[in-house]
Amino acid sequence: MQTPCLRSGRVQIAWPDRPLLETAMKAVVFDAIGSPQDVLYLGDVPMPRIGDGEVLLRMVSASINPGDFLFIQNLYPEPKKPHFPRQIAGNHGAGIVEAVGANVALKPGTLVAFSYYNSWAEYAAVPAAWLIPLPAGYPVERAGQMVNPITAWDLLADSRVQPGQWLAVTAGYSSVSTMVMQFAQRRGINVIALVRRSRDRLDLKGLGATAILDLSGLKVGIREAIMDMTDGAGLNGIIDNVGGPVSGELIRTLAMGGQMVINGGMSTERFELHNFDVLLSGLEIRANIYRYFFSPPVEADRPVLREIVDIFGQPDFHVPVGGIHPLAEFELAVTNSLDRADLGKQIFGM
């Protein structure tokens, strides 16, 4: 009996015994720790093989995220460490199920999203437990960045800001921040978006920001500006993607019982606090780690994941996409992601 095959460009896959008639695929890889712009290159790597409980995905999209750069720079803790040679970059993406190992219920042809490893490639082998099934026809540029709405949803919940209260979000043009704004607007929460410099490309107020604090044109102190914007109420929560001295100023603007949630550290500088900056206002500073950083989704997560997937897929939920690139354009995609967050999310489309 002839073995059924799937063909995709230069790669041929066969099952059920899964011999690989051709063994190479294209991927964005690196062989050393360093700046993404210095160490990444496009190369040929072996096609992944799947075992029991695993799925072979034909990648359709993969997002470029700050966390991907941390992985390339070896800044993540175990087990999120690169392995050489030819470590494939990328930790998030979406693909179509091509083949499954034993004990996997997913059917070939299913569109899924995941946060795992090796997403900047033509194919990926992923344990089925890490996959989030998506509706047929779900926009692939959104499917490939499902990490961002999940993060934004959790950040807003962790901030504990209530309807009518004030939330500050740093790195206002980042994908996660624009999603926080839209989730917050749906809940009646006021958002101040902090940006290093205002740009015309993205209308943050149209995305849900109540006010924009442009740090480049600030003529008064941050605390004074925020107290003016909030009519003296101050902030009830902060979602900080940047760090640095601005974070210290924001903390001193929190109202009694307010909270800062730290999600990133784009600044190389530190912020300083006195104990009384925290004690006398009953403040809390906590970290947010992506819920699927160390472990896969569990059954109890499915209802909220379905809700996030549904909202994120709606046409009125704005998802700025700055470019959809083939893998061969990785240099442009990475540079835009590092230097021009206002353009929107950079996506690999395979």
Residues facing residue 287 across a β-bridge: 262
Residues facing residue 259 across a β-bridge: 237, 284
Helix (H, G, I), strand (E, B) or coil at 323: strand
Helix (H, G, I), strand (E, B) or coil at 179: helix
Output the pLDDT for position 200.
Answer: 82
Look up residue 58 and give its two tokens: 């034909």
Helix (H, G, I), strand (E, B) or coil at 88: strand
β-strand 92-100 against 111-115: which pairing, if any? antiparallel
Taking the C-alpha atoms of residue 251 and residue 255, their distance in angstroms, rounded to an integer, is 9
Taking the C-alpha atoms of residue 112 and residue 141, their distance in angstroms, rounded to an integer, is 12
Q: By the 8 A CB rule, do 92 and 146 touch? A: yes
Interval 157-190: pLDDT, tens: 999 999 999 999 999 999 999 999 999 999 999 9
Closest CA to 115 of 67, 83, 76: 67
Look up residue 97 and give its two tokens: 């199920």
Q: Give CATH for domain 24-145+319-349.
A: 3.90.180.10
Output the pLDDT for position 248.
Answer: 94
Q: By the 8 A CB rule, do 94 and 144 touch? A: yes
Question: In CATH, which of 3.50.50.60, 3.40.50.720, 3.30.420.40, 3.40.50.620 is domain 148-287?
Answer: 3.40.50.720
Intervals of CATH 3.40.50.720 along the chain: 148-287
Sign of the Cα pseudo-torsion (286, 338, 93, 17, in order):
negative
Intervals of CATH 3.90.180.10 along the chain: 24-145+319-349
Instruction: Return phi, psi of residue 213, to 5°.
Output: -110, 105
Output the pLDDT for position 220.
Answer: 94
Q: By the 8 A CB rule, do 227 and 246 touch? A: no
| Residues whose CB falls within 8 Å of the CB of residue 71, separated by 6 or more in sequence, listed in order | 80, 82, 89, 91
Taking the C-alpha atoms of residue 114 and residue 101, their distance in angstroms, rounded to an integer, is 17
Closest CA to 55 of 113, 93, 8, 98: 98
* C-alpha pair distances (Å), 181 with each of 141, 188, 189, 273, 282: 20, 10, 9, 27, 25
Buried-exposed string 155-171: b where 16+ CB fall within 10 A, e elsewhere:
bbebbebeeebbbbbbb
Helix (H, G, I), strand (E, B) or coil at 180: helix
Cis-peptide, bond into residue 48, ω within 30° of zero: no
Look up residue 253 and give its two tokens: 């603007």
Taking the C-alpha atoms of residue 72 and residue 208, their distance in angstroms, rounded to an integer, is 33
Taking the C-alpha atoms of residue 273 and residue 286, their distance in angstroms, rounded to an integer, is 15
Taking the C-alpha atoms of residue 5 and residue 308, their distance in angstroms, rounded to an integer, is 35
Instruction: Return phi, psi of residue 27, to 5°.
Output: -155, 155
- Residue 304 has a CB neighbour count (10 Å cut-off) of 15
Look up residue 112 and give its two tokens: 């899924």
Output the pLDDT for position 23.
Answer: 84
Beta strands in the chain (DSSP E): 5-8, 11-14, 24-30, 41-46, 54-63, 87-88, 92-100, 111-115, 123-127, 131-133, 166-169, 190-195, 211-214, 235-240, 254-262, 284-287, 321-325, 345-349
Q: pLDDT tens digits for the chain (350 residues)?
A: 233 333 333 444 444 444 444 589 999 999 999 999 999 999 999 999 999 999 999 999 999 999 999 999 999 999 899 999 999 999 999 999 999 999 999 999 999 999 999 999 999 999 999 999 999 999 999 999 999 999 999 999 999 999 999 999 999 999 999 999 999 999 999 999 999 998 888 899 999 999 999 999 899 999 999 999 999 999 999 999 999 999 999 999 999 999 999 999 888 899 999 999 999 889 999 999 999 999 999 999 999 999 999 999 999 999 999 999 999 999 999 999 999 888 899 999 99
